Structure 1
Amino acid sequence: MLNLVLFQPQIPPNTGNISRQCVGMNARLHIIGPTGFDLGDNAVRRAGLDHWDELHLSVHKNPDDFLKWLGDRTPWLVTKHGRIRYDKPEFGSEDIIILGSETNGLPEEWLQRWPDTTLYIPITGKIRSYNLANSAGIILAQASLKAGLFDK
Structure 2
Amino acid sequence: MRIALYQPDIPGNTGAILRLAACLGFTVDLIEPAGFDLSDRNLKRAGMDYIERAALIRHSSWEVFERWRKGEGRRLLLFTTRAEARYTEFGYSKGDILLFGRETVGVPDNVHHAADARLVIPMQQGARSLNLAMSAAIAAGEALRQLG
TM (norm. structure 2) is: 0.93
- Provide the C-alpha distance between the structure 1 equivalents of 2:38 and 2:129, rounded to a whole number of angstroms: 25
Q: Post-superposition shift, 1:18?
A: 0.7
Q: Which consecutive unaligned segments of at least 5 residues does structure 2 have? A: none
Q: Secondary structure at 2:88's aligned position in 1?
A: coil
Q: Is the 8 A contact 2:74 2:95 kept in 1?
A: no
Q: What does residue 130 of structure 2 align with?
A: 130
Question: In structure 1, what is the Cα distance between the partners aligned to 2:122 and 2:63?
Answer: 31
Does the 8 Å contact 2:21/2:27 carry over to 1? yes
Please give the root-mean-square deviation of Cα atoms over the aligned residues, in Å.
1.3
Farther-moved stretch of structure 1 (87-96 vs 46-55):
87-96
Secondary structure of residue in 1 paired with 2:4: strand
2:28 and 2:111 mapped to 1: Cα distance? 19
Query: Which 4+ residue blocks in structure 1 deviate beyond 4 angstroms?
Result: none
More moved, 40-49 vs 81-90: 81-90
Asked whether the 8 Å contact 1:25–1:141 carries over to 2, the reply is no
**Bigger fraction of residues in helix:** 2
Work out whether 1:12 is the aligned partner of 2:11. Answer: yes
Aligned partner letter, 1:89: F
SS in 2 for 1:77: strand
Deviation at 1:44, TM superposition (A): 0.3
Aligned partners of 2:31, 2:114: CA distance in 1, in Å?
18
SS across alignment from 2:142: helix
Q: Is the 8 A contact 2:3 2:27 kept in 1?
A: yes
Q: 2:81 aligned with 1:74, yes or no?
A: no
